[in-house]
Amino acid sequence: MTVEKVFLADGRVRPFWRFVLSVPLVFLAMFVADSSARFIARPGDLGGWGRVVWSTVLLLPALLAVFKLLTAAFDRKPLGSVGLAFCGSWRMELGLGLGVGSLMILVVGGAESALGVAQFSLGHHSPSPFLGWGGALFVLLFVAATNEELMFRGYPFQRLAESIGAPAAVAVFSALFGMVHLGNPNHTVVSTLNTVLVGVPLSIGYLRTRALWMPVGIHFAWNFLQGFGLGLPISGFSVPLSLLNAQVSGNVLLTGGRYGPEASVLATIVIIAATGYLWRTKSIYISEPMRALVWGPPRTDSSAPSIVVQLDNSITTASSEPPKLD
């Protein structure tokens, strides 16, 4: 095999090498965002969280710029092919993601209450700081969820899935998703396991739609309702103001302790149930506009069979029906 064949296929850089190239560029985007935040933020801003907030906000355009470069230079596709295109069923997918994520965390909170390990009471806050904090947290958590989905279900994941198959790529990036949360305060073995596990339904949400709206919605809704809604810690971090006040006590396996419900076996059960739903439901599939962004417009020759890419990355001839996972 020649060197050219190792790196190129049909005159283009192979997906695996595009994945390899994208990884340091993602780290570069993170470095640029953090360095810019360090320059902008002043000590004491936002209670000492100024640098984190600025870094989170600036990371989104940095990642989009990197992926714009990669999709244009190597994939010959628009940036929307990464999964954040405002086309097709994006509103429905985002709405379904918000619904699934909300239901997941509300079931966990309801189970804690039913088992007597958590008690929730309505918080009493002045309207102005409460609404201001809630609005700021809404924006910050939505941007943070989008950033994480771009990094873990975006361009690098997509190219690796194209190279080694979707199941292997899901395993790799779910493990990485769990590893990056090891730096969070009060993490446990169960919290790490759950973070790895939740990477699976988030990945399925992308693979079923080839868009990131559904995983972004799930990710954001879980975090926002967990912290601002129920008053529970978000991955080890507590929020100062919330709609409900939570008093948690009892078995750490049921409550997650100081890390929050993400370190509980209740979350494990809910994540597994959500994975089964997203895998088996017939209501989730790729929209035609998104299909065209990812794989190009359909051929006009009616005699030519269309190409369908299944979850396992196998390629088969089929009709124009949406790809199925079963």
**293 in a domain, yes or no?**
no
Q: How far apart are CA 204 and CA 326, in angstroms?
A: 13
Range(s) of the domain holding residue 192: 87-287
Asked if 17 and 160 touch (Cβ cutoff 8 Å), the reply is no
With respect to residue 225, please indicate whether it lies within any of the assigned structural domains: yes
Same domain assignment for residues 39 and 136:
no
Residues 185 and 217 in one domain: yes
Residue 82 lies in a domain: no
Is residue 313 one of the residues assigned to a domain?
no
Same domain, 63 and 210: no
Boundary of a domain, candidates 27, 42, 76: 76
Torsions phi, psi for 59 (to 5 deg)? -65, -35
Q: What are the Cα distances from residue 268, in Å, to 8, 53, 197, 232, 236?
A: 42, 29, 8, 17, 17
Looking at the structure, tell me whether residues 205 and 267 fall in a common domain: yes
Are 104 and 274 a contacting pair, CB within 8 Å?
yes
The whole-angstrom distance between residue 225's C-alpha and the CA centroid of its chain comes to 16
> According to the model, what pLDDT value does residue 94 have?
98
Q: Are residues 207 and 274 in the same domain?
A: yes
Give the global pTM.
0.90
Strand runs labelled E in 16-130: 118-122
Weakly modelled stretches of the chain, pLDDT under 50? 302-310, 312-326
- Number of independent structural domains in the chain: 2
Residue range 138-164, pLDDT digits in tens: 999 999 999 999 999 999 999 999 999
* End position of a domain, from candidates 76, 95, 121: 76
Same domain for 157 and 138, yes or no, is: yes
Q: Which of 32, 52, 76 is the last residue of a domain?
A: 76
Question: How far is CA 171 from its chain centroid?
Answer: 15
- My answer on whether 146 and 270 are in the same domain is yes
- pLDDT, one tens digit per residue, over 213-224 is 999 999 999 999
| Pair 50, 134 in one domain | no
Q: Is residue 6 part of a domain?
A: yes
